[in-house]
Structure 1
């Protein structure tokens, strides 16, 4: 029998259920020569399928206990008494549990029908090196950035690069969830979903929710009908966004736009109630909602086949050409109504277009192609690899740890890694944590 280390200290201070899941899922215990807490022989024929939803932790396991074959589910806990703490004894979903896998058996466990469930106490069988490496990984100082920061640079570079590519597509899948929700709201109108997402991302971080509410409220059929007339489309966007509410403004364009908005609001029976007013606070003038909404109106006026052109995108330069737009003339000398500023074209910058590619265009291409049953992974990788890495605090900290992001696929993957795995202590689901645990 393998002897664990740290014994009670490790259990009380460090043992977590995710380690037990990892050990069971990856077969880090002897498949044969096991025994239950009642000293019955146990042979694992199949570990089962890991369940990430409600119900037992592993489905469809196959075991042989004292020579008798069993097929069913496996539940895993740190202490056997967690079975009662989680009220599994009252839940019929756990009636088919054939083995209770625990670190420590502190009580005997029964099904609803009062039958005892065989228990495997893992502390008698876990290899010591796994506990040692796990303790080192999760016993980092509280002021560390991530658990593995001291060992990250030692991980095999090829293995880590493959993991980053997988994380990038995991991030695309998450963004696809939002697209699919919007698609359901829009009754499968892909062009409307693109409009909503573009609005959201034109709002950047500060005004993303305000612009999103604007996109959800405005019927896209109205956008289609007004796209040939920039002034009318601007009037509707500005009016719905609450940017024409100033009663004291004497600006000529403001007055004309407000009049036009009232006319179009009544003509199309536009409802105003649920739109959040965007903010100007702490924004550079180039990111003012007035400028961004004017740019978007000009985009739709100059790109009548916008959705088709975006879905067919194969090169970054094509995106730069599609989004080579600026504001209307009025907004080249103004940032707000009635206040003249030095003339500026206010074109979309390449860095802004890169953000649109990362957050809107590539997720749309990915999701739409998946909806059609086509695999465009290689095309997406080719495009995203040509985009510069994002520059933020998280990316810079990973750079300091030896992870040099040379493109946007890497930076997006790192953000996914940090937000979804590192901050959630999901180290055992990460290639880095898995390698460190194995001592490789």
Structure 2
């Protein structure tokens, strides 16, 4: 058994609370169950109780066993001095306050329906299952599932927002710089994401702003910082970029820094770092890109904004000095979808939140139009139950698997709630 199961029982009153008595026979009448605390400190704040006719206001702490109070060393922590009731599944030790008075303890076990416990144990103690509810996932009604997936996706954005806030601090609250860093990482995909990130972080964004009017200067900056101009080549375009890069370094007095090398190995030519960096440079020749990203709110408009074509040289090259069959190398809609999922939508969510605005509905509309992603987690869930095929679903399922299923947080999950508690 996990404590979060007991938290759920207490929070949602899933026990017989009409005739409660403490372990030493005192009557307990609950006026308010308190507010669930998810941070450090007692589990429920501001509860109101009557114990043997005396009114108490304070906090409630919940444990599997009474002795866990000492295991967690609460007797040493003043944050627990205002606990008015200790709620446990099994009472095995008296607990003393700092003044040596005994803390009143309520043992929940006699007041919980055995069927509820049986459903909990049935779900939680599955052997060799991919997820605990693997055999019952298909039984969840679509209304419950779709609402839960929306909540999970917004929770995922909130988690990403915390990472964005860290980037924002490093960028001295420059949101345009954060967008550049996030887009660069997204352009690198899985193989070169960290390399492109290190490249972007090595360039003061003020320099990007100053040279953005010239696409070749931007290319030289991105290629040079990535180490792609370190080799010698007789290619005229390569030489021009190298010359430009040398000039920019002298003009703005910046260093290469500790930049991770980009990789070509096992990449399809359209995903070569040369092509992706050239596309990124073209994208940043647009004026006021950040403002346009913030103002854009439909998928079609994002495609119009982001589906750029790199400079003419790259129409006939995938790498320096090696001509290829002519093709525009325009950014595809599936690639833009990845930029939206991994960079733009999370940034728009964070930016709106920082400015006291809520654009959840707008973002849900966009992510719902993007095609479903395919990976091992998403594919396995779809084997269990058909669902709406959108990126909202795939992103939410990743959040579900990593943050709930893998951590056995079934009672914090709407699916687990329905399976354990629906009929109890």
**If the length of structure 2 is used for normalisation, what is the TM-score?**
0.95
Residue 281 of structure 1 and its aligned partner are, at CA, apart by 2.8
Residue 175 of structure 1 and its aligned partner are, at CA, apart by 1.9
Residue 16 of structure 1 and its aligned partner are, at CA, apart by 1.6
Partner of 1:61 in structure 2?
Answer: 47
Aligned length: 423
1:405–1:411 contact (8 Å) kept in structure 2: no
Is it true that 1:31 corresponds to 2:14 in the alignment?
A: no
Partner of 2:282 in structure 1?
Answer: 298
Partner of 1:8 in structure 2?
Answer: none
Residue 435 of structure 1 and its aligned partner are, at CA, apart by 0.8
1:298–1:327 contact (8 Å) kept in structure 2: yes
2:17–2:111 contact (8 Å) kept in structure 1: no
- Give the secondary-structure state (helix, strand or coil) at the position aligned to 1:101: strand
2:131–2:406 contact (8 Å) kept in structure 1: yes
Match of 2:344 among 361, 375, 378: 361
2:46–2:57 contact (8 Å) kept in structure 1: yes
Match of 1:388 among 351, 371, 374: 371
| Alignment partners' CA distance in 1, 2:187 and 2:98 | 56
Q: Gapped runs of 5+ residues in structure 2?
A: none
Residue 51 of structure 1 and its aligned partner are, at CA, apart by 0.9
Is it true that 1:310 corresponds to 2:296 in the alignment?
A: no
1:41–1:66 contact (8 Å) kept in structure 2: yes
Is it true that 1:130 corresponds to 2:116 in the alignment?
A: yes
| Alignment partners' CA distance in 2, 1:266 and 1:432 | 59
RMSD: 1.6
Residue 102 of structure 1 and its aligned partner are, at CA, apart by 1.2
- Give the secondary-structure state (helix, strand or coil) at the position aligned to 1:358: helix
Partner of 1:249 in structure 2?
Answer: 233
- Give the secondary-structure state (helix, strand or coil) at the position aligned to 1:174: helix
- Give the secondary-structure state (helix, strand or coil) at the position aligned to 2:31: strand
- Give the secondary-structure state (helix, strand or coil) at the position aligned to 2:356: coil
Partner of 2:77 in structure 1?
Answer: 91
Partner of 1:157 in structure 2?
Answer: 142
| Alignment partners' CA distance in 2, 1:396 and 1:359 | 19
Partner of 1:259 in structure 2?
Answer: 243
* Offset from partner CA, 1:189-223 (integer Å, 9 cap, x none): 22111111110100111222222222222111111
Residue 401 of structure 1 and its aligned partner are, at CA, apart by 0.9
1:133–1:439 contact (8 Å) kept in structure 2: no
| Alignment partners' CA distance in 1, 2:198 and 2:161 | 19
Bigger shift: 376-385 or 82-91?
Answer: 376-385
* Offset from partner CA, 1:230-277 (integer Å, 9 cap, x none): 11111111111122222x434333333222212211211113223222
Match of 1:227 among 212, 236, 243: 212
Residue 112 of structure 1 and its aligned partner are, at CA, apart by 2.9
1:399–1:405 contact (8 Å) kept in structure 2: no
